[in-house]
Amino acid sequence: MNCMYEIPDSIKKGEYYHHLFLIEDPSVVKVGFIRPYLTSIPMLIEMQSRYVAKVFSKKVHLPSRMRMNWDYESMKEKQSREFSYDYERVQGIVDPYDYMDLLGNAIGAIPSFFMNFELWKMVYLGSWSPYYYMLNHPDKHKREIAKKEIMKLKKHETSQTIYNKVLSVSVLFIFYFIILLLVIFLFYISWDTPFFKKLKRFIPLSR
């Protein structure tokens, strides 16, 4: 006997929290219905799966329905603003970097501090890597793998470009800051010279 089950419209067209949990019934989940404008879909699916697994194992709890509705409307508004030409056609379109951070925050996968300066530099100044979200994984072996994979990007062309740009901007900022301090210092030590005493006569003073 051939039995076909038709998925109700309430599920197919329902409102999903973080593109994952049906707000009306969070036990209903859709994983993989996501369309990053850049990078790969499997990378996002992995993070989605980690989130779902933590919720179903009760290691992470979803917010109230009111909060989920608010976040859903906020995300819709953001999507329509950022992807005005594609939003209606591709409902699941997202910025992959923002979305990964969103899920990473939800499951506590974003490290807050790095003792290793080289690793810190690669994370914040190097080429982006999804291994970032494994740096505080409970499994030490996986953490070590993540560190090694991130450090491999040190010689990556994108990493070198970002690092050089940041370095050049930092040097210019320090240079101009020193010049500003020097000007202020010279102005301060020259304030009581004859030149400035004459100049003060033309400066209107508040009474």
**Rounded average pLDDT per 10-residue block, the chain, 207 residues:** 72 91 94 89 94 96 96 91 81 90 93 75 82 90 91 75 71 83 75 63 54
Say whether both 14 and 104 belong to one domain: yes
Number of domains in the chain: 2
Q: What is the pLDDT of residue 145?
A: 93
Q: How far apart are CA 15 and CA 44, in angstroms?
A: 19
Among 77, 110, 143, the domain boundary falls at 110
Among 82, 110, 138, the domain boundary falls at 110
- pTM beyond 0.95, yes or no: no
Spatial neighbors of 44 by CB under 8 A, at least 6 apart, are 34, 36, 94, 96, 99, 100
Residue 20: C-alpha distances to residues 2, 26, 178, 179, 184 (Å): 30, 9, 51, 53, 56
Domain that holds residue 12: 8-110
Q: How far apart are CA 202 and CA 204, in angstroms?
A: 6
Q: Which of 105, 61, 81, 79 is nearest to 19 (CA)?
A: 79
Handedness of CA 52, 53, 57, 59 (dihedral sign): negative
**Strand 35-36 relative to strand 93-94: parallel, antiparallel, unpaired?**
parallel
Query: What's the chain's length in residues?
Result: 207
Q: What is the pLDDT of residue 3?
A: 59
69 within a domain of the structure (yes/no): yes
